[in-house]
Amino acid sequence: MSLLRELRREGRLLARDRALGVWVLLTLVLAGAAVLSGLQEVAAQRASLSHMAELDRIDREDAQRKHPDWGSTAYYSFHLTYDAPSNFAFAALGLRDQEPWKHRIRMLALEGQIHERDAGNPVLALTGRFDFAFFAAFVLPLVLIGVLHDLQAQERRAGRHALLMATATGPGRPWRTRALLRGGAVLGAALLPLLGGGVVEGTGLPVLLTASAFVLLYGLFWGVLAYALAARNTASAVILAMLLGLWATFSVVVPASLKAGIDAAVPLPEGADILLTQREAVNDAWDLPKAVTMDAFLARHPEWAPYGEVTTPFAWKWFFAFQQVGDQTAEPLSLAYRAGREARDELAATLVWLAPPARLERALEALASTDLRAHFAYKDRVRAFHGQLRAFYYPLLFKDEPYDPEVLAALPAF
Amino acid sequence: MNDVKPAALEAERLSVLRGGRPVLSELSFSVAPGEVYGLLGGNGVGKSTTLLTFLGFLKPASGQARVQGRPVSEDVAGARRAMAYLPESAALYEHLSAYENLAYFLELAALERDRAAMEAALDRVALRPDAREQALGGYSKGMRQKVAIALALLRDAPLLLLDEPTSGLDPTAIDEFHDLVRALADGGKAVLMVTHDVYGACQVADRIGLLKGGALVGEFAAGPAGSISTEQVHHAFTAGGDA
Amino acid sequence: MSVVRQIARDEARYWRRSQLAVAASVLFLLLAVVTLVVTALRISHETTLRAHHQAEAEAAFLAQPDRHPHRMIHYGHFVFRTPPPLARFDPGIDAVTGSALFLEGHRQNSASFAEAGASAYLGGLSWLTPALVYQLFAPLLLIILGHGALAREREGRTLQALASLGITPGQLVLGKGLALGAALGLALIPLVLTVALGVGAGEALAPALGMIGAYALYLGLWAGVALLFSSVLAERGAVLVALTALWLALTLLLPSLAVNNTERLVPIEGKTEGDLALLSELRKLGDGHNAADPAFAKLKQDLLDQYNVDSVEALPVNFRGIVASKAEADLTETMNRFAEARMRQEAAQNSLLARHGWLSPLLALAEASRALAGTDLANHHRFLREAEALRFDFVQRLNGVHAEGLSYLDDVRRSSDPEAEARTRVSGENWQVLQAFRFEPQAPAARLEAAGESLLILLVWCLGLMLALKRFAGRLAP
């Protein structure tokens, strides 16, 4: 019998199923709410960014006006750096809720600035927001379980199971078709708002299709699981409880165990140590012979060797040199910290297949550029920008150029 | 000997376990086409188990169950296609009408039957015409069963398996039912009827097998008088202990 | 009453023979115990580590050699927030907020290095704490145990049999309730043990008991819901589906939807935006590093008048130190204004979120649990305030040393004259002005008060359910 006829036949039967209608409607509403809230949040973030950029410019220009010399200007001017939300970020806000995506930095030692957290209300971050990724990873499986768990148990309870099995030709029928229709209806209802949101945001088609494919595959995983358990000859309550147990295992227990295991397996240097080390290095420099600091600096920047002598107790070029030396001293720890986080993430990426909900979240976050890799890319851009700032100011400081506001026009922008 | 038709249904030393316990032990009997065979027994002796085995829902631990000469386990789908099954509950979809139920199950069986055929079948089982468009939720047990039998008729399968078909029916309905079964058998179908109604079985069956302790303890055929002796069967049924 | 006890005993026997009930109970207890042990170890480790870092930071500050006091203001100090004893059970926002805070002059920094940032990222529900186990999974356990309580009697037609023996619906519900209550008590044992450990580690008794009470109310609430649904709906399968749907709605959906709603109703800006607004305010004040800034003209005049001299060089105190002190005071006043405003907004968000507890008891319990453990937002704010007080204290004392410990002339010439510079270095003994920082857990009375509204919400839920049970159980007909 052709698939189409089967779908039509079962579809006519399912169309009268009010309970299924409720589940599908619920899915649509929840997915819609998730997408809507994501769209609102992204719009708010973008508005905030443009507002801040303006304020930042005003503040910097004011600082530049008040400090007509290179050293003070460099000391007092702040620059806004940011990671704007991508056009798929509405679906998976990911690490944007717990990692800062904006920093105002100046030319001082970077290690003291780049680790600050600009997180919002920690209680809200702890409770977790309702975005599409959360909905798809955790709520959608429960809906699928709801519509599929009593696929056969329902018929057994009604006394129709044997008749259906005896009448239907071919193995797996009518269960497979019914499961397909029920699961398909729910998944369709879930994806519709996502596609709508993508249209609003102007998300690229490849991204939308990939995301939809991920959600469908994920739905297939849970659908197959529910279908397999639904075939058991036990009460639907028992089947439901078993599926809930599996949901709890995959959603909470496995990820938490993996997290604890990975954290234990890949130790990180203490963040506090990075801060302490950098501070000590920066402050020691005040007491060390200038030559020691300048040597450490010039080792990295031999081009300034001709200008590297410092005779007065204070000179801006020396001040900024020891700021950089502070960074250099903390660099091994900072690199180790970064490497440790990356190692943890790589391990997580490999093992997360054991926890499909987390796998889906990570996949969606990768598409939305809100995962750890995107965050590190942003951090790298900040570091690069800081390097550009230094490259701009060093010639002016070392060659002792006279102050000229015109030159500021060439100041690097993020 | 050469033109003896193969039995429609045959159990040969059939042993079936359920939940680890033996329910059928070396059960042997056969049903020929055009014959009504009554499998009689008390509660829990294995009557439903026998039906479920023929339908391919249970696998024999030893022995064979054969449908039209072929073991069920070899071709379950084929065996099911050849059988029309009337479960004890006669449950169908409550929210669908008689026509819709018939249409659904017939489609499920990959059969094409038009409205006229359905009408004819419903006429044959004497279901009130005014009830046919109503949802089955409002039917009595007897009416529901009529729809289920109509389905079996429309299936036009050579074998008919009936599970406690007359439980919950009033005497008029029982008589109607028996007449229908007789007519079907006369038309060439093989009918295996599982029941504990001694009197009814004696009325309609050509042969009766008495099931006790998982095997046949006696087989009764119609004598020269035409029908099976109720007294004899009743006596054998209620006799205590295993044979 | 013996009838009620018999019914309860019968229910317990049913559970003992039900694979589902046994499996669910064992799995829950296993999960609770494992999570407790892991979290307790982690928190103990964190406590020791942070205390160690704190001691290190203090030693580093005190060990600084002779130098210009203003350098020490920029050298700054670190404070670390140590978790309270009950954080073993509910670490609250400890993992999400930074635990290290850098204190320096002219700035109020935000805390750095939250554990949540460094930990491997495995999705939104991977922060498994004992509190979450109880908040999320204990209800499921009670649902599995309780969903069949009355429905199975109806399905198995034993309801008629019981009624014919003269057992009233009220007795039946009480009996089942008693059984669920006993199960609830057993489920709470890991919690009680942990809290006892906390008390052993120095926690006060009142918040500990409050914690047990809060979770008992929450679980009692869910037991009540399970009984209610079980008595109203006819079929076991339907009861379980309905209860699961309710659980999904109340523990998974509503809390995160509440977050969305809270952010919408009470939006707050990030720290960076706040900083920019702060900066435009601060631009109006003078720059403390520049004593010639016109903003300090009046100060200069007042000082000259006070000491009856004509120029700042003639003052017996270091004008730069005075300026630094005043600038810091003005700056701090403005910064505190902004910080307090921000904390008020966050607190407003927090109470709004907690108020959603009327819809989702999990939110009420979460808030009560954090408040009682001392790991809630209010405590983090208290940490920030205490740290700020410490900062202002040592900065102003150092500014005092700046004003009185070295001369203005030396100070002015120190960039160009090495000898003057050497004279501006004050003795390292002065660094003793730094107060030791110990973040003590909040007073028990304050914690109970903070948890008050949420506890009330849980109590009202419980009472409401009892009333509902009374009403619907009366209608318990076979």
Nearest to B85 among A5, A159, A162 (CB): A162
Residue B1 has pLDDT above 50, yes or no: no
Mean pLDDT of A171-196: 92
pLDDT, tens digit, 9 for 90 and up, residues C151-174: 888 887 888 888 888 888 888 888
Q: Are B31 and B69 in contact (CB under 8 A)?
A: no
Residue A80 has pLDDT above 50, yes or no: yes
When the pLDDT of each residue in chain B is averaged and rounded to a whole number, the result is: 86
Q: How many Å apart are CA A204 and CA A199, to the nearest integer?
A: 9
Q: Please tell me which chains touch B, using 3 or more CB pairs under 8 Å as the contact test.
A: A
Residues of B in contact with A173 (CB under 8 A): 108
Residue C112 has pLDDT above 80, yes or no: no
Quickly tell me which residue has 């109590």 as its tokens: C459
Q: Are C96 and A77 in contact (CB under 8 A)?
A: no
Nearest residue to C381 via CA among C334, C349, C347? C347
User: What is the distance in angstroms between the Cα of A370 and the nearest Cα belonging to chain C?
Assistant: 12
Q: How many Å apart are CA C152 and CA C157, to the nearest integer?
A: 8
pLDDT, tens digit, 9 for 90 and up, residues B68-108: 988 998 888 888 889 999 988 888 998 889 999 999 999 88
pLDDT band, residue B145 (cuts 50/70/90): confident
Mean pLDDT of A292-304: 86
Mean pLDDT of C260-276: 83
Q: Pick the residue with more confidence: C172 or C269?
A: C172
Q: Are C388 and C336 in contact (CB under 8 A)?
A: yes
Q: Which chain C residue is nearest to residue A115, measuring alpha carbons?
A: C112
Whether residue B169 lies within 8 A of chain A, CB to CB, comes out as no
Residue B241 has pLDDT above 60, yes or no: no
pLDDT, tens digit, 9 for 90 and up, residues C125-134: 888 899 999 9
Q: How many Å apart are CA C198 and CA C201, to the nearest integer?
A: 5
Three-state secondary structure call for residue B67: strand
Residue B243 has pLDDT above 50, yes or no: no
User: Amino acid letter at A261?
Assistant: G
Nearest residue to A403 via CA among A59, A108, A76, A65? A65
Nearest to C121 among A30, A126, A372 (CB): A372
- Flag if B91 and A159 touch (Cβ within 8 Å): yes
Q: Would you tell me which residues 130-169 of chain A have a C-beta closer than 8 angstroms to some C-beta of chain B? A: 158-160, 162-169
Three-state secondary structure call for residue C7: helix
Kind of pairing, strands B190-195 and A79-82? unpaired
Show the tokens assigned to B31. 């049903």
Quickly tell me which residue has 């002005």 as its tokens: C433
Nearest residue to C229 via CA among C245, C240, C217? C240
Q: Are B212 and B233 in contact (CB under 8 A)?
A: no
Residue B224 has pLDDT above 70, yes or no: no
Residues of B in contact with A157 (CB under 8 A): none
Q: Write the ipTM.
A: 0.86
Q: In degrees rounded to 5, what are phi and psi of residue C66?
A: -60, 130
The dihedral of CA A151, A153, A157, A161: what is its sign?
positive
Q: In degrees rounded to 5, what are phi and psi of residue B194?
A: -105, 125
User: Amino acid letter at C409?
Assistant: L
Q: How many Å apart are CA A312 and CA A319, to the nearest integer?
A: 11
Nearest residue to C173 via CA among C461, C478, C462, C472? C472
- Indicate the burial class of B225 (C-beta count within 10 angstroms; 0-12, 13-18, 19 or more): exposed
Q: Which helix (H) or strand (E) segment is B83 a member of?
A: strand B83-86
Q: Look at residue C227 in the predicted model and tell me its pLDDT.
A: 92
Whether residue B96 lies within 8 A of chain A, CB to CB, comes out as yes
Q: Look at residue C286 in the predicted model and tell me its pLDDT.
A: 67
pLDDT, tens digit, 9 for 90 and up, residues A107-159: 888 887 887 776 678 888 888 889 999 999 999 999 999 999 989 998 988 88
- Indicate the burial class of A36 (C-beta count within 10 angstroms; 0-12, 13-18, 19 or more): middle
- What is the pTM (predicted TM-score) of this model? 0.88
Residues of A in contact with C93 (CB under 8 A): 122-123, 126
Q: Look at residue A298 in the predicted model and tell me its pLDDT.
A: 87
Residues near A171 by Cβ (< 8 Å), separated by ≥ 6?
Answer: B77
Quickly tell me which residue has 């020490």 as its tokens: C72
Q: Which chain A residue is nearest to residue B86, measuring alpha carbons?
A: A163
Q: How many Å apart are CA A255 and CA A262, to the nearest integer?
A: 10
Three-state secondary structure call for residue C341: helix
Whether residue A79 lies within 8 A of chain C, CB to CB, comes out as no
Q: Angle CA(A390)–CA(A391)–CA(A392) in degrees, nearest 5? A: 90
Q: Look at residue B4 in the predicted model and tell me its pLDDT.
A: 59
Q: In degrees rounded to 5, what are phi and psi of residue B67?
A: -120, 120
Q: Are C217 and A108 in contact (CB under 8 A)?
A: no
Q: How many Å apart are CA C77 and CA A251, to the nearest integer?
A: 42
Q: Please tell me which chains touch A, using 3 or more CB pairs under 8 Å as the contact test.
A: B, C
Mean pLDDT of A40-65: 89
Nearest to B91 among A13, A160, A169 (CB): A160
Whether residue B104 lies within 8 A of chain A, CB to CB, comes out as yes
Q: Look at residue A328 in the predicted model and tell me its pLDDT.
A: 87
User: What is the distance in angstroms between the Cα of A251 and the nearest Cα belonging to chain C?
Assistant: 7
Domain boundaries, chain C: 2-475
Quickly tell me which residue has 């406590």 as its tokens: C47
Percent of chain B with pLDDT over 90: 23
Whether residue B54 lies within 8 A of chain A, CB to CB, comes out as no
